[in-house]
Amino acid sequence: MSPFTYARAADAADAIRRGGEAQTKYLGGGTNLVDLLRETLERPAALVDVTGLSNAIEERADGGLLIGAAVRNTALAEHRAVRTRYPALSRAIVAGASAQIRNMATVGGNLLQRTRCTYFYDDDGSRCNKRQPGQGCDAIDGFNRIHAILGASPACVATHPSDMCVALAAFDAVVHLRGAGGERTILLNDLHRLPGDRPDLETVLEPGELITAVELPALPFAARSTYRKVRDRASYAFALVSVAAALELDGGTVKDVRLALGGVAHKPWRAWKAEAALRGRPATVENFRAAAEAELVDARPLTHNAFKIELVRRTVAAVLGELMEDHP
């Protein structure tokens, strides 16, 4: 690790004052950042520990939730309101990492974790436009079975690693930010960027801007939601493909639906096209598959990851089928 200073933020104002300094990084649970420091992929001059900021989960009168950015992943997954009103979020969290890591990792940090693309990590031996803009990408013609099929660019085919974010994307989560210019909110779906020609820029955050909370708007039919993760082993592995979904039926018709995909793109991928293809249509496995097809119309597989296209079709159909079966 390169040398850095360490300070605990007393409150959000203190954090953004310190975070506004050049080469400063906010530190949450450290489960990704400490590893990146050790690999010298991150070389900040200063760390500002923000784990002492709000770790409250506030239940709103309308049924929504306001989740402090310092809430640990385990605390969010086990919260009764999350388990019963947004079960896909609990399921996404406990599908990720290990129990030890979930005890450490914060909500804010989960949003800002970086790709696990092996070429990004291989500083000594591989080219990476995310690590060093303009250098080239060795994943595009390399071992890319874990890489993106949607929204990638000739500069970068990395995927966003989070499970939690996939559920948040499906539920239209709102990210609360605070920076030198004041406070603002943005949709989680607008937080992460597609790589384009600047894969080093992963979010739309301004320098020094701090995530203070994540808000889940009320969504009554999210009580019927789930998350399925397909991976190379039964536990403790990143997603090849994952699906977060909520389904509301009116008789045999899809009244409303929320669908987001993980493991397929540079950001948690809200499946807007699939949702549009389903609303008002009969809830059948054929239509679920056709909806996945609509989402995949722009999919571009690489040498080793074409299997993800069929995997998305099957997983979307299976998850929506499961929610349909559970419908009273």
Contacts with another protein, residue ranges (CB under 8 A): 1, 3-6, 27, 29-31, 34-35, 37-38, 47, 49, 51, 74, 77-78, 83-84, 87, 90-91, 94-95, 97-101, 103-104, 234-236
- Rg from Cα positions in the chain: 19
Report in angstroms how near the CB of residue 87 gets to another protein at its nearest. Answer: 5
Q: How far is the CB of 276 from another protein (least distance, A)?
A: 29
Quote the CA–CA distance of 83 and 57 in Å, as a whole number.
13
Closer residue to another protein (CB): 8 or 255: 8
The nearest distance, CB 90 to another protein, in angstroms, is 6
Rounded to the nearest whole angstrom, what is the least distance from the CB of residue 294 to another protein in the complex? 30
Q: Which CA distances in Å does 50 have to 11, 14, 26, 105, 177?
A: 8, 10, 6, 12, 13
- For residue 26, the minimal CB distance to another protein (Å) is 13
Instruction: Choose between 98 and 185: whose C-beta lies nearer to another protein.
Output: 98
Beta-carbon count within 10 A of 279 CB: 13
Q: Is the CB of 1 or the CB of 180 nearer to another protein?
A: 1
Q: How far is the CB of 104 from another protein (least distance, A)?
A: 5
We find the least distance from the C-beta atom of residue 78 to another protein, in angstroms, to be: 4
Give every CB contact of residue 140 below 8 A, 6+ residues apart in sequence: 154, 157, 302
Instruction: Select 35 or 256, whichever has its Cβ closest to another protein.
Output: 35
101 vs 186 by CB, closer to another protein: 101
Nearer to another protein, 77 or 107 (CB): 77
| Smaller CB separation from another protein, 78 or 200 | 78
CB of 117 to another protein, least distance (A): 15
Shorter beta-carbon distance to another protein: residue 35 or 122: 35
